[in-house]
Amino acid sequence: MAEEENVLAELDGIRRAGLDALSSVQDEAGLQAWRTTHLGRSSPVMLVFTRLGQISKEMRPAVGQKANQVKQALEAALEERGEFVRTASLRQKLDTERLDITLPGRRNPLGRIHPASQALAEIVHIFEEMGFQEYRSPEVETEEFNFELLNIPEHHPARDMWDTFHTTVPGTVLRTHTSPGQIHAMREMCPRPIRVILPGMVYRYEQTNASHEAQFNQVELLAVGKNITMGDMKGTIEGFARRMFGEHVRVRMRPSYFPFTEPSGDIVMECFVCGSKGCPVCKYSGWLEIAGCGMVHPIVLQNGGYDPTIYSGFAAGLGPERIALLKYQVNDIRYFFQNDIRFLEQF
């Protein structure tokens, strides 16, 4: 009998201890911990239930009932304390975290056209005003179009001028220049006169540096007709440079070599980046090559379907990124394709 009375007194103690501990719980984590200690599987009140079997038959209902009451009282107290803790934390949040609805909203950033595309569009626009028509040709070419038809035979040392990306399809390459477009244009338009520009991306398997990238744009220029002379070529290119850079720009043409033109030249402009003093962009020469040019080689005219004894033509290949470097005074061509927003946002 004494043992049973002890259990009843013990249960009162368990209730008191539980309620005492609960009154100092302040947050969600404390509630969880309290639940484990005071209502969990091995909490004092739950252990009383496991001991019921050792209690005499007569007293067992009384002890069981009391244990249930204690358990329910603790559960109800937990519920109440939980409510209190959650309300308090909400009130504290409302007091400390203020929402200032007068702050201006954040704008969605607006995209813009990539500077290389802007330069390309501007160049194309100038030539269109001069009567040239835009023409597109493929970026993946056969070696025949990229080289042979442009008078660069297989195994000829002139092929070394272009470090080429070959594709997995034999005889197929990423075009190293826009010049194969000349053949496509001529074959489509022969025997009509031609004034076209061919803009687009070209690819070189190259070591990159301040003025060389492995991919860049080119704009190919092609005029074919009767009585087209080098004077026409010089006038066209100088006219372009003046529209692009201003009336007083200094441009010069110097002799060069390309297999698909004869004679060939380079068009060089004074280096705006350093004011012709010499810098990494112009390789310390004060001049920057912006285009190759020349009179279309008779073999190339023939490959395009034009009789070179009747027709002549000039061609040029311009580098829009080079031109953008000059125009915006950027000192490294690699910025264009690094995709750094801080650079791109300036245009």
Which positions from 284 through 313 interact with ligand DAH, judged by CB under 6 A?
Answer: 292-294
Minimum distance from residue 345 beta carbon to ligand DAH (Å): 30
Minimum distance from residue 116 beta carbon to ligand DAH (Å): 16
Nearer to ligand DAH, 81 or 297 (CB): 297
Please pick, from the candidates 141, 220, 270, 321, the single residue that binds ligand DAH as defined by CB under 6 A.
220
CA distances 339 to 37, 51, 76, 111, 317, Å, are 58, 73, 61, 13, 25
Instruction: Please say whether the dihedral angle defined by the alpha carbons of residues 122, 200, 299 and 153, taken in this order, is positive or negative.
Output: positive
Report d(CA 234, CA 36) in Å as an integer: 91
Nearer to ligand DAH, 261 or 312 (CB): 261
Nearer to ligand DAH, 66 or 195 (CB): 195
Minimum distance from residue 300 beta carbon to ligand DAH (Å): 9
Distance of CA 123 to the CA centre of its chain: 24
Residue 241, φ and ψ in degrees, nearest 5 = -60, -40
Nearer to ligand DAH, 37 or 164 (CB): 164
Minimum distance from residue 175 beta carbon to ligand DAH (Å): 9
Tokens found for residue 200? 């687009």
Minimum distance from residue 130 beta carbon to ligand DAH (Å): 16
Instruction: Please say whether the dihedral angle defined by the alpha carbons of residues 323, 324, 327 and 329, taken in this order, is positive or negative.
Output: negative
Q: With CB under 6 A, what is the number of residues at the site for ligand DAH? A: 11
Instruction: Please say whether the dihedral angle defined by the alpha carbons of residues 157, 159, 163 and 164, taken in this order, is positive or negative.
Output: negative
- Within 8 A by CB and 6+ apart from 196, the residues are 132, 133, 134, 135, 181, 185, 220, 221, 222
Show the binding pattern over residues 234-273: x = contacts ligand DAH (CB under 6 A), - = does not: ------------------------x--x------------
* Cis status, amide bond into 157, omega within 30 of 0: no
Where does residue 169 rank: exposed (0-12), middle (13-18), buried (19+ CB within 10 A)? exposed
Which positions from 150 through 179 interact with ligand DAH, judged by CB under 6 A?
Answer: 177, 179
Nearer to ligand DAH, 34 or 162 (CB): 162
Please pick, from the candidates 181, 259, 317, 320, the single residue that binds ligand DAH as defined by CB under 6 A.
317
Report d(CA 151, CA 162) in Å as an integer: 14
Q: 118, 181 in Cβ contact below 8 A?
A: no
How is the beta sheet containing 215-225 ordered, strand by strand? 133-134, 194-203, 215-225, 312-318, 287-296, 261-270, 251-256
Minimum distance from residue 317 beta carbon to ligand DAH (Å): 3
Where does residue 281 rank: exposed (0-12), middle (13-18), buried (19+ CB within 10 A)? buried
Nearer to ligand DAH, 34 or 287 (CB): 287
Report d(CA 221, CA 224) in Å as an integer: 10
Nearer to ligand DAH, 82 or 308 (CB): 308
Binding of ligand DAH by 116 (CB under 6 A): no
Please pick, from the candidates 123, 152, 288, 315, the single residue that binds ligand DAH as defined by CB under 6 A.
315
Nearer to ligand DAH, 264 or 276 (CB): 264
Minimum distance from residue 176 beta carbon to ligand DAH (Å): 7
Please pick, from the candidates 22, 116, 194, 316, the single residue that binds ligand DAH as defined by CB under 6 A.
316
Interacting residues with ligand DAH (CB under 6 A) = 177, 179, 220, 258, 261, 292-294, 315-317
